[in-house]
Amino acid sequence: MAGHSKWANIKHRKGAQDKKRAKEFTRAIKEISVAVKDGGGPDPEANPALRNAISNAKGVNMPKDTIERAIKKASGADADNYELVTFEGYGPNGIAFFIECTTDNTNRTVASVRSIFSKNGGSLGTNGSLEFLFDKKGVFVIERNQIEMDFEEFELELIEGGATKIEKEEDLLSVYTDFTDFGLMSSKLEELNIEPKASEIHRIPMNTLKLPIEDAKKILNLVEKFEDDEDVQNVYHNLEITDELVSAMEE
């Protein structure tokens, strides 16, 4: 888990500086749209899913007026009709993938995901075939400069909020909760006046596979190809992210 956290946090730091910012905005707008449609309307006070979506949009530095326009559009008669779909499959060397998409055209998304797998030495599987390899967890990314109390006291507050693991990575913290405690931690952070950089449900691999650096780099390149697809929201896999691999990808 630690390696996945470190790699995710590096991407959080890089995200606002490169071309992926536009994709992050698109992803956030889709999350807002689905939250308004399926989570209980345009009022974030009454819609926890929308509160999380807004928090994630702020985490990628989306302007307030853009967020407000996205909410207004999602609650209008001409709102885009997105649905959530998932895909499972294997990449090279037996690495398992679980992919979450938000789409207004399922046929297009299926074709695109299948094509990325087949062109990169992988194969699309049947739904339900790999889900058991991943554990659903709440993951909150917090900027350490937001913490105003003694850090040990802060850790105790997080544990009270359901934290099962806290990982420190330079200027960021990754806080993990059980899936069922996601709302509890969200409430605890609001109580502490902490606005997370990201607050999401992640699928954490229960076991990871370690590959030689060059093979592992190909897997992470495949992850990026999936993430570059317009319909893909999240990509999960069970490759072990070692410090050596992170260093190699930063070069």
| Chain segment 18-49, per-residue pLDDT in tens | 567 788 888 899 999 999 988 678 898 888 88
Answer yes or no: are the C-beta atoms of 237 and 97 closer than 8 Å.
yes
Query: What sign for the dihedral angle of Cα 236, 49, 29, 124?
Result: positive
Answer yes or no: are the C-beta atoms of 211 and 219 closer than 8 Å.
yes
**Same structural domain for residues 69 and 36?**
yes
What's the mean per-residue pLDDT of the chain? 88
The number of C-alpha atoms within 13 Å of 14 and in the hemisphere containing its C-beta is: 11
pLDDT tier for residue 61 given thresholds of 50, 70 and 90: confident
Residue 189 maps to which CATH number?
Answer: 3.30.70.980
Tokens 């698109």 locate to: 26
SS3 content of the chain, % helix, strand, coil (to 5): 50, 25, 25
**Same structural domain for residues 22 and 107?**
no
Q: Which residues touch 57 (CB under 8 Å, ≥6 apart)?
A: 25, 28, 29, 31, 32, 66, 67, 70
Helices (H) then strands (E): counts for the chain: 9, 8
**Same structural domain for residues 101 and 127?**
yes
Residue 223 is predicted with a pLDDT of 92
The answer, as to whether pTM is greater than 0.85, is: no
Residue range 9-22: mean pLDDT, rounded: 57
Rounded Cα–Cα distance for residues 174 and 144 (Å): 10
**Same structural domain for residues 142 and 123?**
no
pLDDT tier for residue 9 given thresholds of 50, 70 and 90: low
Residue 240 Ramachandran class (φ > 0 left, ψ -120 to 50 alpha, else beta): beta
Q: Would you say residue 6 has pLDDT above 80?
A: no
**Same structural domain for residues 124 and 222?**
yes
Of 30, 57, 74, which residue sits at a domain end?
Answer: 74
Residue range 53-65: mean pLDDT, rounded: 88
**Same structural domain for residues 143 and 196?**
yes
Residue range 115-131: mean pLDDT, rounded: 92
**Same structural domain for residues 123 and 212?**
yes
> How would DSSP label each residue in 31-92?
HHHHHHHHHT-S-TTT-HHHHHHHHHHHHTT--HHHHHHHHHHHTSTT----EEEEEEEE-G
pLDDT tens, 167-188?
988 788 999 999 999 989 999 9
**Same structural domain for residues 22 and 43?**
yes
pLDDT tier for residue 1 given thresholds of 50, 70 and 90: very low
The whole domain housing 60 covers 2-74
Q: Would you say residue 231 has pLDDT above 90?
A: yes
Residue 18 is predicted with a pLDDT of 53
Residue range 63-68: mean pLDDT, rounded: 93
Residue 45 maps to which CATH number?
Answer: 1.10.10.200
Amino acid identity of 44? P
Of 29, 51, 74, which residue sits at a domain end?
Answer: 74
Rounded Cα–Cα distance for residues 163 and 182 (Å): 9
Q: Would you say residue 123 has pLDDT above 90?
A: yes
**Same structural domain for residues 49 and 38?**
yes
Residue 102 is predicted with a pLDDT of 93
Residue 39 Ramachandran class (φ > 0 left, ψ -120 to 50 alpha, else beta): alpha
**Same structural domain for residues 34 and 55?**
yes
Share of the chain above pLDDT 70, in %: 91
Number of structural domains found in the chain:
3
**Same structural domain for residues 222 and 113?**
yes
96 φ, ψ to 5°?
-85, 140
Q: Would you say residue 240 has pLDDT above 70?
A: yes
**Same structural domain for residues 6 and 59?**
yes
Q: Would you say residue 82 has pLDDT above 80?
A: yes
